[in-house]
Homo-oligomer: A and B are copies of this chain.
Amino acid sequence: MNLRAIKPLHETQTRILDAAEELFMQHGFEGASMRMLTARAGVNLAAINYHFGSKDALVEAVFRRRLDPENAERIAELDRLEKASGGAPLAPATIIRAFVGTSLRMIQDEKKGGRNFIRLLGRTYTDPAKRIRALIGQLYAPAMARFKDAFAKALPELPREELVWRLHFMFGTLSYTLAATDTLELIAGCKPEDRYDAAVLESRLTAFLAAGLLAPVPQRTGQRATDESVKQAA
């Protein structure tokens, strides 16, 4: 999809990308300085500008290295599923599993970035910098359109606007689940053991998301929520 993603990398470039992936996650893009990055990578301070041109370009390279192959894989998986079904619409849970599974498989595969990149990614969806979010959105756009069509075909009776909102909710649940590290302990009061077991998490997430996607459509009365209406809803 993008030449940069498949161009063989110089070893120095790879070491810089690895260091950046880790330190961007720990300190954010502004917080991780070029001095920190090059020190961790064991290369010279000038190497980032030499190999990538600027710190901004490095940020983009960090995401391209992982996301271009990931989204290609995601789309290919959906293609395979649709071909296997022979034209019959796929079950919503199947489509969800294809999307979620690709992300979760990255957690267990260090060559695909592992847990560190997936957490960095989850955080970046809501980064303050608009250009960062725009970059992520651009890298996701083809896969997003492809999956939206698949869901629309699987749920022809669901109003298109409701579908869009629910995809938004689903994407949010996924990205937050991947990014968050503290809320779970806060709720649980302890550290669950299977937290990063991709297979178990995939089942939990798919069950939750599929139920939400198939929820009854709320009637739109347009009324404001008040303390009284909330109480009466009990």
| Segment from A12-20, A50-58, A62-70, A194-202 that makes contact with B | A194-202
The interface centre, meaning the residue of A98, A137, A199 with most chain B CB atoms within 10 A of its CB, is A199
Determine if A26 is an interface residue (Cβ-Cβ < 8 Å).
yes
Contact check, B97 vs A230: say whether CB atoms are below 8 A apart.
yes
Contact check, A199 vs B224: say whether CB atoms are below 8 A apart.
yes
- A43 surroundings in chain B (CB, below 8 A): none
* Those 8 A-B pairs whose CB atoms lie nearest each other, nearest first: A172-B176, A211-B215, A28-B128, A30-B30, A212-B212, A203-B218, A208-B212, A94-B234
Determine if A156 is an interface residue (Cβ-Cβ < 8 Å).
no
Q: Which residue of B lies closest to A215 (CB)?
A: B211
Determine if A206 is an interface residue (Cβ-Cβ < 8 Å).
yes
* Listed A/B pairs (24) with beta-carbon separation below 8 Å: A27-B129, A31-B128, A81-B234, A84-B231, A84-B234, A93-B233, A94-B234, A97-B230, A101-B230, A105-B225, A126-B180, A133-B182, A161-B192, A164-B184, A165-B184, A165-B204, A168-B177, A168-B184, A171-B176, A172-B172, A172-B175, A199-B224, A208-B212, A211-B211
Residues of A within 8 A of B (CB): 24-28, 30-31, 77, 80-81, 84-85, 90-91, 93-94, 97-98, 101, 104-105, 122-123, 125-129, 133-134, 137, 140-141, 144, 148, 161-162, 164-169, 171-173, 175-177, 179-184, 186-188, 192, 198-200, 202-218, 220, 222-225, 227, 230-231, 233-234
Contact check, B205 vs A169: say whether CB atoms are below 8 A apart.
yes
Choice from B81, B181, B182, B204 contacting A162 with Cβ under 8 Å:
B204
- A81 surroundings in chain B (CB, below 8 A): 230-231, 234
Q: Which residue of B lies closest to A195 (CB)?
A: B165
- A218 surroundings in chain B (CB, below 8 A): 203-204, 206-207
Docked Cα-Cα span, A188 to B26, in Å, equals 32
- A31 surroundings in chain B (CB, below 8 A): 30, 128-129
Choice from B104, B187, B217 contacting A148 with Cβ under 8 Å:
B187
